[in-house]
Structure 1
Amino acid sequence: MIEPIAGTVEQCPFCHRTIRGTVEICPHCGAERRFGPTLRESLLTFAVGVSVGPVFMLIIGAGVQLAVLAAAIGGLLGFFVAHSRHAGDRWMKPPAGWTPPE
């Protein structure tokens, strides 16, 4: 039997079984390799950026126009934070009730 090359296999971080290094979904537990932020993470950081900036501007009395500008800048910053924080590969937990194909 031919043994696989050591650099082409890795361990699933959830079920700890050996998998190919190129798989996107673990065939044993269903964990998924993701690149970049999920939609939830992008929306959450965007919402935080859109809300924190205007609140701060209104507290210091800068006015509504600067608060709107701060919301736009905060939304962009939130989007970029999500994408820079989750810029690499990572494994996501398998979905509940996932069963391996037969």
Structure 2
Amino acid sequence: MSSTDDRSSSWTFLTHHARVLVEIARDPAIRLRDIAAGIGITERAVQSIVRDLYEAGYLSRHRVGRRNHYSLNLDQHFRYPTEANLPISLLVDMFAQHDLHDRKSPGDQS
């Protein structure tokens, strides 16, 4: 079990916290169960991550009917000391641009 494929699938560059943040940026009305299914972790883990992000000031949430809607604080900075001077908007913008590129149809000129 020492093949490169096995080792490469056991880690990623983005943490679950970053992936949850990006999913919320993509859809501020997303359900936690949909985030969990999309990134492959439990709904309970997503709840914990959203709580972490909320308590650290990375997002706010408000109820609309029976659902939560989220707003990101894109001016908040990364937590790791070597990236602490950079806002999280850089991460979110990078993935938002990726999404826009993927969603364009082949004949779309915009």
TM-score (norm 2): 0.24
Using CA pairs under 8 Å that are at least 6 residues apart, name the structure with larger relative contact order, 1 or 2.
1
Greater helix content: 2
Which has more radius of gyration?
1
